Amino acid sequence: MSGWNLMNIIWLVMAVVFFYFAILFWIYSRSGLRPFLFDAVSKSQEDANENIIDAVPEDLRKEMESFRRTINITMQTRFRIGAISMVLAGGLAVASMLIC
């Protein structure tokens, strides 16, 4: 490397940004939607509105939970692919910095 010129600094900044996004996407891949809480009704509310729990059938609860699990798996996969892509882009930026 012949020294630090403007192109090297630009590639370094780009590499840092790509690696930052890689870390951010990896953190996002580890978090998901929280479970739906249909049964979170206090006794006073349950006495006042007896049909709140009955309005949400068991098959709907199972379907919502299945939907949540599917969304979590899909988003986890997408964010991990994004994180890996950003690591590759950061590596290419470092390689380009070393070539320039």
pTM of the model: 0.71
- Give 35-86 pLDDT, tens digit per residue: 877 654 455 555 555 555 556 677 888 888 899 999 999 999 999 999 999 9
Between helices 58-99 and 6-29, what is the axis angle to 10°? 160
Question: Does some domain include residue 14?
Answer: yes
CA distance 85 to 91: 10
On whether residue 1 sits in a domain, the answer given is: no
Give phi and psi for 17, each to the nearest 5.
-65, -45
Domain that holds residue 38: 6-99
Is residue 67 in some structural domain? yes
Domain count, the chain: 1
25, part of any domain? yes
